[in-house]
Amino acid sequence: MAWQFDPNLSKVEWAVGYLGIAVIKGRFTKVQATLNFDDPEPTKWSFDASIEAASLITGHDPMEDHVRSPDFLDVEKYPTIAFQSKRVERSKDGYRVVGDLTLRGVTREVVLEGDYGGEAADARGRVKRGFTGQTHLKRSDYGIPSGKAGDVFVAGEDIRVTLEVIANRAD
């Protein structure tokens, strides 16, 4: 049985410190994923994801334009953010997904700490599986400049990435 990524219910969100006084949050609206969720055992799963970098939204157009610019993501030069899982492991509190993240032309191994929500049928009888995950990235590891406003860095070093993945069983 095949599983299909549900882009309407799944989310890729991020949060980063702003000027040392607040946290800016956003999400990417154009995400595609290929899922190998056929086995009922999550440690046998794998997946690849592709995110259109320009699809980020924050709710503030000037900030979105700035984050898309060469000052940060440089979406003209690096239009895609990609993740390819290597393995899924059990952890004390759930699961760890280890994989390679390519952002702004730099590939680094990352670990998503996550939970498998299980499998359930919706009101129409469609079977779904859910997974949540979170990781922290260092902005500078991917060559993303911080920018400065006087002596204050605009973007914090730590970027928190949160995933909500829903997969639909294709019958």
CA distance 167 to 33: 10
> Cα torsion for 24, 47, 103, 156, to the nearest 10°?
30
Query: What's the pLDDT band for 149 if we cut at 50, 70, 90?
Result: low
Query: What's the pLDDT band for 150 if we cut at 50, 70, 90?
Result: low
DSSP for 6-27, written as a single string: -TTT-EEEEEEEETTTEEEEEE
pLDDT digits (tens, 9 = 90+) for 13-46: 999 998 889 999 999 999 999 999 888 888 999 9
- State the pTM of this model: 0.91
CA distance 51 to 79: 8
Residues facing 91 on adjacent strands: 94
CATH architecture of the domain with residue range 2-170: Beta Barrel (2.40)
CA distance 52 to 118: 28
Domain parsing of the chain, residue ranges = 2-170
